[in-house]
Amino acid sequence: MKYNILIILSALLMISFTSCDDFLNETPKGSVFEEQLETPENIEKLVITTYSALGNEHFQQPLSPWPYGDLRAGDAYKGGAGTGDMGDFHLFETFVYLRDNVGMLDRRWYQGYKAISRANTALEKLNAISSSEMPTRDLRIAEVRFLRAHFYFDLKILFKYIPYVDETIPVEEYKNISNRALTDKQGWEYIIQEFRYAADNLTDPTGELGRINKWMAKAYLAKALLYAAYEQDEKNNVISIDQKKLKEVVSITDEIIASGRYGLADDFADNFLWETQNGKESIFAIQYSVNDGTMFGRLDFGAMLNYPMNSEYGCCGFHAPSQNLVNSFKTDNNGLPLFDSFNTTSISTPENLQNNNIDPRLLHSVAIPGMPYKYKPDFIFEESWTRQPETYGAFMSLKEVVLPDCPCFKKLLPFMSSSKNRDIIRYDDMLLWRAEALIEQDREAEALPIINSIRQRAAKSTTLLVDIQGKKTGKFVVEEYKPGANCPAWDKTFATKSLRWERRLEMALEGSRFFDLVRWGIAAETINNYFSVEKNRRPYLNEAKFTKNRDEYFPIPKAQIDFSKKLYQQNSGW
């Protein structure tokens, strides 16, 4: 037996020696060599990997802006199974115990730069090939520079001072680039330059859903210009507003409107249904998919925690709208917002919805116990569907979720999500940027019809807000602003208040509110006023406090400062 084993082992050794040269000449499976990346076909794949970074997220580290823009603005409570469940989100929401060593901040930073790395790799290869070899080269360069600018934009509004690296900088030089190499203003100029390049070099839509086109680039350029126009000092105070940038916002939005490619959907609901996604209002959206041959599909993992706890779904009760937000949808007898008294009484029941004048956008945005869930009259949302109502109340957000019978819905037990798109830029959002820029230029009369067009659409968006008998589920009363008739003179002060209120209602629970407040320079007063009332409704907010000149931005993650060997400098107040 031993003799036979020795013979077999000897034979195997001889085979291995004689085949060694062949083995060394094999290309290892799963490996990619540099020269393989330099073909047009593979460069196209590198571009696609950059696109895919738009949705490369996990429920524990979402790219979706709701934890960063809603929880920190008073529009939503964290939700879930108490304050320790996804505890970093609790720190975001309450501010006071947030520190620079919070793991989720470091992971969000890393996520952003991983996406930027993909863009830089793609651009390096695109720059090295000729247009004759790759006819799509110039378009792809513009697309990738757009995507890279988007990744930088997200990092900038989160962290303010960030390092900028592009494909011309060797990786070994990254360690020498400070997050203060560019000033705050110069950082915005870098992002603006990237979007401007994309807008100048892209073409009209090609018919490929999700492919970046010049109108997307123009819209994002307008957004970046609007943010950059509000110049801040080192302590995050708004110290001036750049009128030249605001004029360009108006000029660019003029072009987009004149193109005729986009418009307001007839019903506000069309923006939040899988069946009507990629409609005329969607300018730039993340394209998700299901049953696409991959293990899980390209699902919206950023919304994975935000479904109810009932049997049709199962988990996890996060992203619970605040009572303050719900109350803000009340209107007066003229159909206008209750700017000063909205929060003195609360809406929480079907009876409240019939006894108070309300803006219908409330029921497009918020699930309220006793009301149809996601436009299905016989599918009634109940308090028992929520995770911990004694802590976070009994509301849930609606815009990002779908019905369980949607072909786009998929369970990944115990979690679930869908392939419904998430819009990054919509036409209504763009119109409100335009109105804001006009008002800040003392052209508030030109902003009035824009804001009224948004309100007109809201007033008409009641078709799907009905019960099983077909009756309206609320006392819907929304009117246009009619200066001198139902409101005071339309001066700059009143126009500004109206515009800011309109943005809150129109974009509710879509993650933009906090960044609006910071841009306008009113985050501290707005959020601390919110805490002063809301802590009496939600005791877990008792210690919550926004610290001015600090909490406008996250701290630079400690791990990143350590990795840079202290080259990176910390943000104000941290």
Half-sphere exposure of 467 (CA within 13 A, CB side): 13
Tell whether 44 is covered by a domain.
yes
Tell whether 150 and 296 lie within a shared domain: no
Report the domain count for the chain. Answer: 2
Long-range contacts (CB closer than 8 Å, 24 or more residues apart) made by 205-209? 205/261, 209/278, 209/287
Cα 349 from Cα 347, distance rounded (Å): 6
75 and 140: one domain?
A: no
136-174 confidence digits (pLDDT tens): 999 999 999 999 999 999 999 999 999 999 999 998 999
pLDDT confidence band for 33 (50 / 70 / 90): low
Q: Which of 341, 563, 360 is nearest to 477 (CA)?
A: 360
Which range is least confidently modeled, 10-14, 77-81, 479-483?
10-14
Mean pLDDT of all residues belonging to the chain: 93
pLDDT confidence tier of residue 106, bands split at 50, 70 and 90: very high
Tell me what pLDDT residue 206 has: 87
pLDDT score, position 200: 98
- In 150-256, the DSSP E strands lie at 230-232, 238-241
pLDDT at 25: 46
Same domain, 504 and 559: no
Residues ≥6 apart with Cβ < 8 Å to 294: none
Tens of pLDDT, residue by residue over 241-283, are 999 999 999 999 999 999 999 999 999 999 999 999 999 999 9
CATH of the domain at 451: 1.25.40.390
Instruction: Provide the 8-state DSSP code for 491.
Output: -
Question: Does some domain include residue 28?
Answer: no
Count of other CB atoms within 10 angstroms of residue 81: 16
Asked whether the beta carbons of 512 and 336 are under 8 A apart, the reply is: no
Residue 297's pLDDT band (boundaries 50, 70, 90)? confident
- What is the per-residue pLDDT for 18? 37
Whole-number pLDDT of residue 362: 98
For residues 346 and 493, state if they share a domain.
yes
Using CA of residue 118, residue 119, residue 120, residue 124, what is the dihedral sign? positive
Which amino acid is residue 121, in one-letter code?
T
Kindly state whether residues 360 and 344 are assigned to the same domain: yes
pLDDT at 292: 87
CB contact set of 288 (below 8 Å; sequence gap of 6+): 55, 297, 298, 299, 300, 408, 418, 419, 420, 421, 422
Range in 7-11, 60-64, 245-249, 492-496 the model is least confident about:
7-11
314 phi/psi in degrees, rounded to 5: 130, -20
Residue found under tokens 């079907």: 350
Q: How far is CA 472 from CA 198, 232, 260, 390, 463, in A?
A: 46, 46, 33, 29, 8
How much is the pLDDT for 294?
Answer: 83
Inform me whether the pLDDT recorded for 548 exceeds 70: yes
Residue closest to 116 by CA, chosen among 65, 157, 167, 156: 167
- Smallest CA-to-CA distance from 221 within 200, 243, 241, 244 is with 200
- What per-residue confidence (pLDDT) applies to 32? 54
Tell me which residue range forms the domain holding 132. 33-62+99-209+553-574
Instruction: Name the band, by pLDDT with cuts 50, 70 and 90, for residue 295.
Output: confident
26 domain-assigned: no
pLDDT reported for residue 61? 87
361 and 506 Cβ atoms separated by less than 8 Å:
yes
Q: Which residues pair with 58 in a beta bridge?
A: 61
Whether 533 is in a domain gets the answer yes
| 484 class by beta-carbon count within 10 Å (0-12 exposed, 13-18 middle, 19+ buried) | exposed
User: Which tens digit of pLDDT belongs to each residue from 176-232?
Assistant: 999 999 999 999 999 999 999 999 999 999 889 999 999 999 999 999 999 999 999
Co-location of 493 and 515 in the same domain: yes
pLDDT at 299: 95
Residue 382 falls inside a structural domain: yes
Are 243 and 441 spatial neighbours (Cβ–Cβ below 8 Å)? yes
Instruction: Check if the beta carbon of residue 421 is closer than 8 Å to that of residue 399.
Output: no
84 and 106 fall within a common domain:
no
Instruction: For residue 376, give the nearest of 341, 349, 405, 339 by alpha carbon.
Output: 405
Give residue-wise pLDDT tens across range 501-539.
999 999 999 999 999 999 999 999 999 999 999 999 999
According to the model, what pLDDT value does residue 29 have? 55
Which residue stretches of 404-522 are H helix?
A: 427-440, 444-460, 492-506, 513-520
Co-location of 400 and 466 in the same domain:
yes
Q: List the CATH number of the domain containing 199.
A: 1.25.40.890
- Whether 6 maps to a domain, the answer reads no
Query: According to the model, what pLDDT value does residue 36 have?
Result: 65
User: What pLDDT shows up at residue 27?
Assistant: 52
Q: Are residues 361 and 510 in the same domain?
A: yes
- Calculate the CA 563 to chain-centre distance: 28
DSSP labels, 317-349: -EEEEPHHHHHTTBB-TTS-B-TTTTTSS---S
Of all helices (H) and strands (E), which one includes residue 90?
A: helix 87-94
Q: Do the domain assignments include residue 214? A: no
Domain co-membership, 398 together with 530: yes
Backbone angles phi, psi at 64, to 5 degrees: -50, 135
Q: Are residues 88 and 159 in the same domain?
A: no
Torsion of the alpha carbons at 181, 185, 187 and 193, rounded to the nearest 10: -130
The percent of residues above 70 in pLDDT, for the chain, comes to: 94
Q: Is the distance from CB of 365 to CB of 507 less than 8 angstroms?
A: no
